[in-house]
Amino acid sequence: QVQLVESGGGLVQAGGSLRLSCVVSVNIVNFRSVGWYRQAPGEQREFVANIRGGTTNYADAVKGRFTLLLDNAKNRVYLQMDSLKPEDTAVYYCNGFHRTIGDVWGQGTQVTVSS
């Protein structure tokens, strides 16, 4: 069974940092892309960052502050979040597009940034 399990969320003050981790239950090379989305209260889920075809992509809102890291040996995807802002508050979801299954989502981890 293909699963993505996130961890690392929490409460942090504005300007602080957090590192989210996503453990992938199968070999990560089976995914065409892996990355992160987020959903703030009352808002639609939005793209944060992903890596696809060897290229890392970032939403404009996080460019220069967030870094997506991939550890193929451990089948883990990380999101290093620096210079956090209150508007980064959201549930963060790990996402992968599996070559045969399609979209796979984690259960989400809450990130709260206080002002």
pLDDT confidence of residue 24: 96
In the three-class reduction of DSSP (H, G, I as helix; E, B as strand; rest coil), residue 16 is classed as coil
Q: Which residues contact 99 (CB under 8 A, 6 or more apart)?
A: 30, 31, 32
The Cα–Cα gap between 18 and 11 comes to: 9
Q: What does each of the 115 residues of the chain score in pLDDT, given as a tens digit?
A: 899 999 999 999 999 999 999 999 999 999 999 999 999 999 999 999 999 988 999 999 999 999 999 999 999 999 999 999 999 999 999 999 999 999 999 999 999 999 9
The Cα–Cα gap between 3 and 13 comes to: 31
The Cα–Cα gap between 70 and 61 comes to: 21
